[in-house]
Amino acid sequence: MTRFAAPIAEQIWDMKYRLKDAEGQPLDATVEDSWRRVARDLAKVESDPALWEDRFYAALEDFRFLPAGRILAGAGTGRSVTLFNCFVMGTIPDSMEGIFQALKEAALTMQQGGGIGYDFSTIRPKGAEVRGVAADASGPLSFMDVWDSMCRTIMSAGSRRGAMMATMRCDHPDIEDFIAAKQDSARLRMFNLSVLVTDAFMEAVKTDGPWELVFGGTVYRTVPAQDLWNRIMRATYDYAEPGVIFIDRINRQNNLHYAETIAATNPCGEQPLPPYGACLLGSVNLTRLVSDPFTPQARLDMAALDDLVRVAVRMMDNVVDASKFPLPQQADEARNKRRIGLGVTGLADALLMLGLRYGAPDAVEQTRAWMKAIARSAYLASADLAREKGAFPLFDRDAFLASGFMRRMDADVRDAVARHGIRNALLTSIAPTGTISLYAGNVSSGIEPVFAYAYTRKVLQRDGSRTEEEVTDYAVQMWRDLHGDAPLPDHFVNAQTLAPQDHVAMQAAAQEWVDSSISKTINCPADMSFQDFKDVYLSAWDLGCKGCTTYRPNAVTGSVLSVSEAAEAVPQVDTGADVVYLTRPLDRPVALEGATYKLKWPASEHAIYITINDIVQSGHRRPFEIFINSKNMEHFAWTVALTRMISAVFRRGGDVSFVVEELKAVFDPRGGAWMDGRYVPSILAAIGGVIERHMVAIGFLAGEGLGLKSDPQVEAVAMGERPLGPACPSCGQYGMRMNEGCMTCPNCGHSKCG
């Protein structure tokens, strides 16, 4: 009997969490071995390791408690790795030396795979005087470009992908440039962006008041608050960024308000953290705690929930001692405050099992009740741990109890903390759980609604062939097992059919009893009016959320997976006007049209010749293959590799313009060159520029730096089945979708945020 509810779950375990040796041979023979490895490692610090190893194993068994992927993959391996997911780096000094020291620290953290956040509000604005060098400052965005290049370099070196969050205060003089930064499709692709919105700014927006842009006590200019708010909203409406973080609310509610000031979050936003702050994550799988699902007696076992939360808190507290850290400052921060981020997954599926419609008032109230129960159990467990092992080092009883969050807590919990202290300064968070939710049998992610009841996944076999398998949502599959082909009940809803305000209501209900924050995407329909879109953010503010992230599919952001009400439906997506998607590479015709370009890189003795050949379909040309040649033998290996890789991409079809974007963003640490009056950061970026000019010349791109050229008179040419969504950069399969703030692949678990 396999423990896995679906083939994809076992594949995720094998790819991501199963311990293997240097040759790739499995050391964990079964998933039970993985659970035992993790349980044994986290029990080592206990006075009775055998007792707690068995209790930890029982929590992991049947996917009831799901530690974050780093813990599952790293605990008990003997490897020097961090088990923490989230980092916010130190405050960036407003000096050249300090800025590049901060860049070095970011690179070291990124090298270990940590997702990092930074507040760039501390860097003086563009044009400000730099004393002593008779120059003007280049501004924070110019340094963000350097961070972006660093992240790309770390990724290209083969390390685990990382992600970055950049924040900027709403009163920084460069805030308007920050808001518009990612409207350049080639800029800051490694960053998520969020504006730090203050209470004063929201008040100015509501009263249509003026807003001062200030740095270092100097007012640079004054703008209408509503105009700045509309800039933020319009950018998010059209480009899906920047997000909004209600920073004063975060600091006011923070249990550690007396010991830290927060100005940034991790990349997905669920962990607002101070300088050098670090947090680990884990989720309670609510679907495994529901008794008598889809019956009038359906209920969530509250006693089992309490027991599971208490064990999970102890396990996660032990991770603080078991983990390594990229920087000593991060280790000190983690051990002085012992932050953990315990959350949930499978919420939407659990509601379905109880007959509740996601977003409906009764579902909102049930969510609030469950999250309060989890918070109570977590805080009482941490108080018990403090009695046994001691409170976190920076605990101050009176100040801690005076926080906005603790003032809402029940009297018995406050009394326990007053008597014994508390082991962990903060305990709850709802993180992205896309991959571990697949590992647990495709339960609904975090507190998100079910995204798709079912979809078809292509699986690469050992012989190179591909087979298809249907991946079904956990609750839908359970319904089918119980009721066969009977129609799904009316309370079954998914992300495509929900009103945005339903999303907001659910996020706000969960946030009330989460002491950190929540990673959630509010899906908005493409035809939603701008005014209604702005109302979503105002509702999030009014209902007490700590931030807001939306996704509205359009020509810029791309379409996401859309599904019908039927579980059997295969998701479809509009492919656009002139994009050709291929399920297998196209055979090469005997003759092709093309052009050859000469590229003279200033630092190289020999020119590079680039030939791009095109295929003509329905009267339209598109790139089909490329040849890159040079007499410089030092270039031979990488030009051959680039020729083969880019040609393979071109022959798969679809929107291949990302090749240009990726090449143009490559940064050469030895220095770039000036070409035709502009700075080109590397020879690869120069090749990207040649490919881009060719694509513009043949009409494939609308212009330099722009997207695909659309022609409403031409129908899409689709060969084979149409894709489920954008292509995954990891496995190459189509179907990427926005979920919990991350573009996520349902086929292999890859996500933009790591």
Q: Is residue 681 within 8 Å of residue 673, measured between CB atoms?
A: no
- If one counts every other C-beta atom within 10 angstroms of the C-beta of residue 499, the result is 16
Catalytic residue among 53, 105, 260, 270: 270
Catalytic residue among 251, 266, 442, 523: 266
Token code pair at residue 262: 């927060």
Q: Is residue 171 within 8 Å of residue 229, measured between CB atoms?
A: no
Active-site residue flag, 270: yes
User: Which residues lie across from 278 on neighbouring strands?
Assistant: 87
In order, the DSSP letters of 568-599 are TPPPB----SS--B-SSPPPPPS--EEEEEEE
- b/e map 644-667, b = 16+ CB within 10 Å: eebbebbbbbbbbbebbebbbbbb
224, burial (CB in 10 Å: exposed 0-12, middle 13-18, buried 19+):
middle
- If one counts every other C-beta atom within 10 angstroms of the C-beta of residue 183, the result is 12
713, burial (CB in 10 Å: exposed 0-12, middle 13-18, buried 19+):
exposed
Nearest one of 387, 378, 381 to 405, comparing CA atoms = 378
16, burial (CB in 10 Å: exposed 0-12, middle 13-18, buried 19+):
middle
Active-site residue flag, 266: yes
CA 572 distance to own-chain centroid: 24
Count of positions (residues) in the chain: 754
Nearest one of 317, 269, 329 to 425, comparing CA atoms = 317
Q: Is residue 556 within 8 Å of residue 482, measured between CB atoms?
A: no
Helix (H), strand (E) at residue 344 = strand 340-345
Active-site residue flag, 268: yes
Catalytic residue among 86, 151, 170, 268: 268
Q: Which residues are catalytic?
A: 266, 268, 270
